[in-house]
Structure 1
Amino acid sequence: MSMFKPSMLTLAFIGAGVVSHTAYATQEKKVDSGKKVEVIEVKGFRASVIESINTKRFSSEVVESISAEDIGKLPDSSIAESIARLPGLTAQRLDGRASKVSIRGFGENESATTFNGREQVSISDNRGVEFDLYPSEIMSGVTVYKTPSARLEAEGIAGVIDMQTVKPLSVDDRVVQVNGQYEQTSFDKLNPDGNDDGFRGTVSYIDKFADDTIGVAVALSTMTSPNQEKRWNAWGYPEFEGSDGKQYSILGGAKPFVRSSTLERDSAMLVLEAAPNDQLSMVFDALYVDFKDEKILRGIEIPFAWGQGTIAASSATIDSESGFISSAVTQGQRVVLRNDYEDREAELTSFGFNAQYNVTESLSLEFDASHSNVEKKIWSLESYSGTGRGDNRGAADNIGYTFSSDNTGALFTHELDYSDYNLIKIGGPLSWGASSVLNDTYGVSGTEYENQLQDGFINAPTVEDELNALKLAAKQVLDGDHIGSVEFGLSYKEREKVKRSEGYFMTLNDFSYPDNTGLLSVPEEYRLGTASLGFIGMGDMIAYDSRAMVADGKYSLLAESLTKQDHATKSWGVEEQVTAAYVQANIDSNIASLALTGNVGVRYVKTQINTKGSIANPDASGRIILEQNNVSHDYSHVLPSLNLSLAVDDTQTVRFGIAKTLSRPRMDEMNSSVARSYRETPDSNGNNWEIKGGNPLLEPKEAVGIDLTYENYFSAEGYFSVALFQKNLDVWIFDGTTEVDLTGVVNAATGEVPANPTATQSFKVNGGDGDLWGYELSVALPFNVFHDSLDGFGMIASHTGVKQDVKDQFGKEYKLPGLSEKIQSFTLYYENHGFQARTSMRKRSDFKGDINGPGFDGILVDILGETIWDAQLGYDFAEGGFDALAGLTVSLQVQNITEEPFTSLSGDNALHVRDYQDYGRTYLLGFGYKF
Structure 2
Amino acid sequence: MLNLKRNLLSAALASAMFMVATHAQADAATAAGQQSSDSSQSSDQAAGKDTKTADGKQRPSSATKLQSVEVSGFISSLENSTAVKRNADSIVEAVSAEQIGKLPGVSIADTLGRLPGLAVQTVSGRPQVLTIHGLGPDFSTALVNGGQQVSTSNNRDVQFDQYPSSWFNTVVVHLSPSANLIGQGLAGTVDMQTIRPLEKSKPEAALNARYVWNDMSELSPGKGVSNKGYNLNGVWVNQFADHTMGVTLGVDFESNPAEIQHQAPWGYPTDNSVAAGNGVVGGAKNYGISDTMKRNGLLATFQWEPNEHYTGTIDMTYDNFKEVQQAKGMELPLAWGSATLQPGYTASNGLITSGTYTTLSPVIRNDYNQTSARVYNLNWDNKFHINDNWSADLVGNYSRATRRDINLESYSGLGFNKSGPTDTIGFVEQGNGLLYVNPSYDYTNGIVLTDPQGWGGGNDVVQAGFINAPHTVDYLANLKLAVERDFVSGPFSSLEFGVARSERHKTYHIDQSFLTLGGGTISGGSAVTSAPFSGSTCSPLAWMGISRQLCYDPLAEIANGTLVGVPTFGSSLNTPPDWKTKEKVLTPYFQFNLDTYLGNVSLRGNFGVQMQHTSQYGEGERVAPGSAVTGNTITLIPVKGSTSYNKYLPSANLIFGLTQDDDFRVSAARTLARPRMDQMNPSVTVHSHIDKLASTDPNQAYFSADGGNAKLKPTMADNYNVSYEHYFSGGSGFQCSSSDQKNSDLCRTGGGGYFAVSGYFIALHDYINPNSAFLYDFSSFLPFGLTPAQVAQLGTTLGTVSGPLNNGRGYVKGAQVTLNLPFNLIAQPLDGFGTILTANRTKSSLVYPGNPNPITVPGLSKWVANGTLYYQHAGFEARISDSYRSSFLGEVSGISASRIEQTVGGGSTYDAQVSYTFDHGPLNGLTVIAQGSNLSNKIFTTYQNNDPRQVLTWERYGRRYEVGVSYKFQ
Aligned counterparts of 2:412 and 2:107: Cα–Cα separation in 1: 38
Instruction: Report the CA distance shift for 1:848/1:480 in structure 2 as closer, same or farther (over 3 A).
Output: same
Counterpart of 2:958 in 1: which secondary structure? Answer: coil
Aligned counterparts of 2:159 and 2:891: Cα–Cα separation in 1: 12
- The aligned residue for residue 129 of structure 1 is 158
- Residues 64-93 of structure 1: CA distance to partner in whole angstroms, max 9, x if unpaired? 000103221101121000000000100111
- The aligned residue for residue 354 of structure 1 is 381
Aligned counterparts of 1:484 and 1:783: Cα–Cα separation in 2: 38
Q: In structure 1, what residue type is equivalent to 2:509? A: R
CA contact (8 A) 1:641 1:657 kept: yes
Aligned counterparts of 2:139 and 2:326: Cα–Cα separation in 1: 32
Matched, 1:399 2:425: yes
- The aligned residue for residue 761 of structure 2 is 726
Instruction: Report the CA distance shift for 1:383/1:710 in structure 2 as closer, same or farther (over 3 A).
Output: same
Instruction: Report the CA distance shift for 1:550/1:698 in structure 2 as closer, same or farther (over 3 A).
Output: same
Matched, 1:210 2:245: no
Distance apart, 1:914 and its partner CA: 1.3
Q: In structure 2, what residue type is equivalent to 1:490? A: V
Instruction: Report the CA distance shift for 1:221/1:686 in structure 2 as closer, same or farther (over 3 A).
Output: closer
Residue correspondence of structure 1 range 139-538 to structure 2 within 5 A: 139-193=168-222, 194-241=225-272, 247-314=277-344, 316-319=345-348, 321=349, 323-391=350-418, 393-407=419-433, 409-420=434-445, 423-434=446-457, 436=459, 439=460, 451=461, 453-509=462-518, 517-523=528-534, 527-538=535-546
Worse overlay, 739-748 or 885-894: 739-748
- Residues 547-569 of structure 1: CA distance to partner in whole angstroms, max 9, x if unpaired? 22223433211111x33374434
Aligned counterparts of 1:459 and 1:654: Cα–Cα separation in 2: 53
Distance apart, 1:309 and its partner CA: 2.5
Instruction: Report the CA distance shift for 1:302/1:896 in structure 2 as closer, same or farther (over 3 A).
Output: same
- The aligned residue for residue 17 of structure 1 is none
Q: In structure 1, what residue type is equivalent to 2:507? A: V
Unpaired stretches in structure 2, ≥5 consecutive residues: 1-48, 732-751, 787-795, 893-899
- The aligned residue for residue 675 of structure 1 is 685
Instruction: Report the CA distance shift for 1:270/1:427 in structure 2 as closer, same or farther (over 3 A).
Output: same
Counterpart of 1:656 in 2: which secondary structure? Answer: strand
- The aligned residue for residue 630 of structure 1 is 640
- Residues 95-129 of structure 1: CA distance to partner in whole angstroms, max 9, x if unpaired? 11111100011011011111111111001121111
Match of 1:828 among 847, 865, 869: 869
Matched, 1:871 2:890: no
Worse overlay, 58-67 or 476-485: 476-485
CA contact (8 A) 1:26 1:39 kept: no
- The aligned residue for residue 736 of structure 2 is none
Counterpart of 1:812 in 2: which secondary structure? Answer: strand
Q: What is the TM-score when the length of structure 1 is the normalising length?
A: 0.88
Distance apart, 1:478 and its partner CA: 1.6
- Residues 34-72 of structure 1: CA distance to partner in whole angstroms, max 9, x if unpaired? 987564864211111111000000000100000103221
Distance apart, 1:204 and its partner CA: 1.6
- The aligned residue for residue 444 of structure 1 is none
- The aligned residue for residue 15 of structure 1 is none
Q: In structure 2, what residue type is equivalent to 1:425? A: V
CA contact (8 A) 1:817 1:860 kept: no
Worse overlay, 760-769 or 890-899: 760-769
- Residues 410-462 of structure 1: CA distance to partner in whole angstroms, max 9, x if unpaired? 21111111133xx21222222013454xx3xxxxxxxxxxx4x1111111111
- Residues 578-599 of structure 1: CA distance to partner in whole angstroms, max 9, x if unpaired? 1111000001111012210000
Aligned counterparts of 1:515 and 1:677: Cα–Cα separation in 2: 27
Q: In structure 2, what residue type is equivalent to 1:376? A: R
Instruction: Report the CA distance shift for 1:691/1:182 in structure 2 as closer, same or farther (over 3 A).
Output: closer
Matched, 1:660 2:670: yes
Aligned counterparts of 1:207 and 1:517: Cα–Cα separation in 2: 66
Q: In structure 1, what residue type is equivalent to 2:813? A: W
Aligned counterparts of 1:510 and 1:129: Cα–Cα separation in 2: 39
Residue correspondence of structure 1 range 617-766 to structure 2 within 5 A: 617=624, 619-621=627-629, 623-676=633-686, 691-715=705-729, 716=731, 717-737=752-772, 761-766=801-806
Q: In structure 1, what residue type is equivalent to 2:952? A: R
- The aligned residue for residue 927 of structure 1 is 965
Aligned counterparts of 2:364 and 2:257: Cα–Cα separation in 1: 24
Aligned counterparts of 2:289 and 2:323: Cα–Cα separation in 1: 12
Q: In structure 2, what residue type is equivalent to 1:430? A: Q
CA contact (8 A) 1:25 1:37 kept: no
Instruction: Report the CA distance shift for 1:27/1:454 in structure 2 as closer, same or farther (over 3 A).
Output: same
Aligned counterparts of 1:429 and 1:870: Cα–Cα separation in 2: 44
CA contact (8 A) 1:619 1:750 kept: no
Distance apart, 1:191 and its partner CA: 2.1
- The aligned residue for residue 578 of structure 1 is 585
Aligned counterparts of 1:338 and 1:312: Cα–Cα separation in 2: 26
Matched, 1:804 2:844: yes
Aligned counterparts of 1:700 and 1:63: Cα–Cα separation in 2: 24
Counterpart of 2:85 in 1: which secondary structure? Answer: helix
CA contact (8 A) 2:621 2:637 kept: yes
Aligned counterparts of 1:470 and 1:176: Cα–Cα separation in 2: 32
Counterpart of 2:86 in 1: which secondary structure? Answer: helix
Distance apart, 1:359 and its partner CA: 1.4
Counterpart of 1:501 in 2: which secondary structure? Answer: strand
CA contact (8 A) 1:565 1:624 kept: no
- Residues 676-731 of structure 1: CA distance to partner in whole angstroms, max 9, x if unpaired? 58999997699999652111111111111111111011122211111011111122
Q: In structure 2, what residue type is equivalent to 1:412? A: V
Matched, 1:46 2:75: yes
- Residues 19-39 of structure 1: CA distance to partner in whole angstroms, max 9, x if unpaired? xxxxx9986799889987564
Counterpart of 2:189 in 1: which secondary structure? Answer: strand
Distance apart, 1:648 and its partner CA: 0.9
Distance apart, 1:637 and its partner CA: 0.3
CA contact (8 A) 2:51 2:59 kept: no
Matched, 1:76 2:84: no
Distance apart, 1:178 and its partner CA: 1.2
- The aligned residue for residue 10 of structure 1 is none
Q: What is the TM-score when the length of structure 2 is the normalising length?
A: 0.85
- The aligned residue for residue 13 of structure 1 is none
Instruction: Report the CA distance shift for 1:161/1:360 in structure 2 as closer, same or farther (over 3 A).
Output: same
Distance apart, 1:841 and its partner CA: 1.1
Instruction: Report the CA distance shift for 1:75/1:216 in structure 2 as closer, same or farther (over 3 A).
Output: same
Aligned counterparts of 2:758 and 2:57: Cα–Cα separation in 1: 29
Instruction: Report the CA distance shift for 1:29/1:627 in structure 2 as closer, same or farther (over 3 A).
Output: closer
Aligned counterparts of 1:377 and 1:116: Cα–Cα separation in 2: 27
CA contact (8 A) 1:734 1:809 kept: no
Aligned counterparts of 2:466 and 2:843: Cα–Cα separation in 1: 43
Q: In structure 2, what residue type is equivalent to 1:551? A: A
Matched, 1:897 2:927: no
- The aligned residue for residue 599 of structure 2 is 592
Aligned counterparts of 2:514 and 2:807: Cα–Cα separation in 1: 40
Q: In structure 2, what residue type is equivalent to 1:900? A: K
